[in-house]
C-alpha cells in the first residue's frame, strides 16, 4: 500500500508521472485543454484520497488506468451534452453514475494476473500504458509478430475472464 504523507512526497510523484499521464490522455483526446483538465483531476483526486487508496499494481499502472477512466468518462458525458436529442435513459447515463470503477479495475487486475509474466507485461504496455506494437517490440527487444501473438493470447484470456462483465465493458471500451 502506497502512503503519501506529505506534500513533498506528492510533488515527487507528480513530477515523475505528470508527463506520462499527459501523453496517455493526449493520445486519446487530441485536445490540450481537455488533457490538462484530466491530468489535473487525477492528481487532485489522488491527493484527496491519498489515505484511502489501495494500489494493487504499480503506481504508474494505477495512474494510467485513472487516465483511461477519466477519458472514457469525459467522452461519455461530452457526448451526452452535445446531443440533446438522445434520452439519458436510452444511453445509460445512470449506468455511468452507478458504475463502480474500482470493482471493474479489480476484475481486470485479477484477469491480468492469470497471464504469464511476459503476456502481462505486453498487455499492460499496450492496453494500460498506451504503447504501440512497434514501441513495445523495441522496448522489449522482440519482434512485432511476437508482440501481436502475446497480445492476441492475452486478450483472449482477459476476454474469457471478464465475460460476465461484457455489457459493462462494452460501454467503456
Q: Which pLDDT score, from 0 to 100, does residue 101 have?
A: 59
* Same domain membership, residue 143 and residue 81: no
Assess if residue 154 is contained within a domain. Answer: yes
Query: Where does a domain end: 55, 85, 115?
Result: 85
| Boundaries of domain holding 141 | 99-173
* Same domain membership, residue 139 and residue 108: yes
* Same domain membership, residue 106 and residue 47: no
Q: Which pLDDT score, from 0 to 100, does residue 28 have?
A: 86
147: domain CATH number is 1.10.10.10
Residue 120 CA to residue 110 CA, distance in Å, equals 11
Assess if residue 90 is contained within a domain. Answer: no
Query: Where does a domain end: 53, 85, 117?
Result: 85
Cβ atoms of 151 and 134 closer than 8 Å: no
73 grid coordinates: 468518462
Query: Mean pLDDT in the chain?
Result: 78
The string of pLDDT tens digits covering residues 80-109 is 444 443 444 444 444 443 445 556 666 777
Q: 159: helix, coil or strand?
A: helix
- Sign of the CA dihedral with 112 first, then 113, 114, and 115 last: positive
Cβ atoms of 53 and 46 closer than 8 Å: yes
Q: Which pLDDT score, from 0 to 100, does residue 146 have?
A: 94
How many CB atoms are located within 10 Å of the residue 11 CB? Answer: 11
* Same domain membership, residue 116 and residue 48: no
Residues written for the chain: 173
Assess if residue 31 is contained within a domain. Answer: yes
* Same domain membership, residue 2 and residue 71: yes
How much is the pTM?
0.50
Q: Which pLDDT score, from 0 to 100, does residue 62 have?
A: 86
Q: Which pLDDT score, from 0 to 100, does residue 167 have?
A: 56
H-state helical runs in 30-128: 32-48, 59-82, 88-91, 93-98, 101-113, 117-123
* Same domain membership, residue 150 and residue 74: no
* Same domain membership, residue 81 and residue 8: yes
* Same domain membership, residue 104 and residue 78: no
Range 36-53 average pLDDT = 87
* Same domain membership, residue 76 and residue 10: yes
* Same domain membership, residue 77 and residue 11: yes
Count how many domains the chain has: 2
Query: Where does a domain end: 61, 85, 109?
Result: 85
Residue 33 CA to residue 159 CA, distance in Å, equals 34
80: domain CATH number is 1.10.1740.10
161 pLDDT more than 60: yes
* Same domain membership, residue 103 and residue 53: no
Assess if residue 67 is contained within a domain. Answer: yes
The string of pLDDT tens digits covering residues 2-31 is 667 788 988 999 999 999 999 989 988 888
- DSSP letter at 50 equals T
Q: Which pLDDT score, from 0 to 100, does residue 35 have?
A: 92
Amino acid at each position: 500500500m502506497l502512503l503519501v504523507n506529505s506534500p513533498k512526497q506528492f510533488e515527487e510523484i507528480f513530477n515523475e508521472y505528470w508527463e506520462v499521464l499527459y501523453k496517455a490522455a493526449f493520445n486519446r483526446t487530441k485536445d490540450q485543454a481537455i488533457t490538462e483538465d484530466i491530468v489535473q483531476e487525477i492528481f487532485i483526486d489522488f491527493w484527496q484520497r491519498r489515505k484511502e487508496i489501495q494500489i494493487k499494481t504499480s503506481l504508474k499502472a494505477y495512474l494510467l488506468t485513472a487516465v483511461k477512466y477519466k477519458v472514457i468518462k469525459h467522452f461519455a458525458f461530452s457526448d451526452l451534452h452535445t446531443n440533446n436529442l438522445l434520452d439519458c435513459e436510452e444511453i445509460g447515463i445512470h449506468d455511468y453514475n452507478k458504475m463502480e470503477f474500482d470493482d471493474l479495475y479489480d476484475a481486470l487486475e485479477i484477469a491480468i494476473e492469470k497471464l504469464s509474466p511476459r503476456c502481462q507485461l505486453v498487455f499492460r504496455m499496450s492496453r494500460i500504458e498506451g504503447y504501440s506494437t512497434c514501441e513495445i517490440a523495441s522496448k522489449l527487444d522482440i519482434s512485432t509478430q511476437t508482440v501481436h501473438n502475446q497480445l492476441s493470447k492475452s486478450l483472449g484470456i482477459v476476454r474469457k475472464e471478464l465475460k460476465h462483465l461484457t455489457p459493462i465493458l462494452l460501454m467503456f471500451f
